[in-house]
Structures are given as structure tokens and as C-alpha cells.
Amino acid sequence: MTDDRYQRERQLQAIVDGLAESVAEASDVEILEEAQEAGEHIEESAESLRARLLETVKAFRQQRLQAARKDYVKAVESVRRTVVTLPQTSPERRALIDKILACRPDVGKLLTAQYRDLKALTDEDLEGCLRHLGALGVLDEVLGDTGRGA
């Protein structure tokens, strides 16, 4: 009995699979004629489906952007939460960043455009830059525990 039930379903599946297969092989003219016979408005329904699919792509992009934004906010939060001891005065901080760049020229290449002109950085930006480097472990690596805050 169970076999018989499966057999009936399999027969139907085989027939509709054969039909689907034939759709893949039919000419464009046949496809359009059949759609028309099925009551479709050729252009209208094609454009409606195109719009639906483009909307799906757009929604997916927005979803990815939102996810990227969330990741960014998390990363910024993580930098903020990292405890980094920095020198107290602005000249000392500028001296510290010079020292880092001297020891690790590769870090200079990684700094974003925002940070590249170091002399033009405001004290606030300079502190942000150092905190980022601290969160990345560069301060510990270059200066060691004793060098920081000197």
C-alpha cells in the first residue's frame, strides 16, 4: 500500500518534471505564445516580476549595509571600551605617534587618509588615532608596558 502511494506521487512528479524540462528547451516564441494562452499580459507581467526581483536585490543590499553598519558600531564601541593609557599632554602624544611610526613604518601605511597628515591632526583626532592603535595592540608591541605614558 505504501509503495503504491509513493508510486502515484512519483508518477505525477515524473510527469511535471518532464514538462518543466520541456520548458527549458522550448523556443522563446513558444514560451510567449503559451504565456499569452494562459492569460498573461506578456510585457506587463514580465516587468512586474522584474520589479519584484530588483526590489529583492535592493532589500538584500540594504540588509548587508545595515549589518556592516552594526559591525562598525560594535568595532567602535570595542575601541572605546579598551583601556589605553596615553600620555597626558598633546606634545607627548605627538612624540608617541612619531615613535610608533619610526618603529613600525607599516602602521603608517595602514592609517586611513583621515590620519595621514599627522601634523594637521587635532588633539582629539590624535587621541582617537592612538586609542585605535592601542586597541590593536600596537602600543604594547612598540613600547612595551613601561614605555607607555612616558
State the residues that interact with other proteins by CB under 8 A.
2, 4-6, 8-26, 28, 30-32, 34-35, 37-38, 40, 42-43, 45-46, 49-50, 52-54, 56-57, 60-61, 63-64
Q: Which is nearer to other proteins, 46 or 150 (CB)?
A: 46
Q: For residue 130, with 0-12 CB atoms within 10 Å meaning exposed, 13-18 middle and 19 or more buried, which class applies?
A: buried
Q: Which is nearer to other proteins, 35 or 143 (CB)?
A: 35
125, 114 in Cβ contact below 8 A?
yes
CB of residue 78 to other proteins, shortest distance in Å: 24
CB atoms within 10 A of CB 116: 11
User: Shortest approach of other proteins to residue 131 CB, angstroms?
Assistant: 34
Residue closer to other proteins (CB basis): 69 or 80: 69
Q: How far is the CB of 62 from other proteins (least distance, A)?
A: 10
Radius of gyration of the chain from its Cα atoms, rounded to whole angstroms: 32
Give 11 or 114: the residue with its C-beta nearer to other proteins: 11
The least CB distance from residue 29 to other proteins, in Å, is 8
With a CB cutoff of 8 Å and minimum separation 6, the contacts of 95 are 87
Task: Output 23 or 95, the one with its CB closest to other proteins.
Answer: 23
Q: 96 and 86 in contact (C-beta within 8 Å)?
A: yes
* Closest of 25, 145, 7 to residue 83, by C-alpha: 145
Smallest distance, Å, CB 77 to other proteins? Answer: 23
The answer to whether the CB of 42 falls within 8 A of the CB of 36 is yes
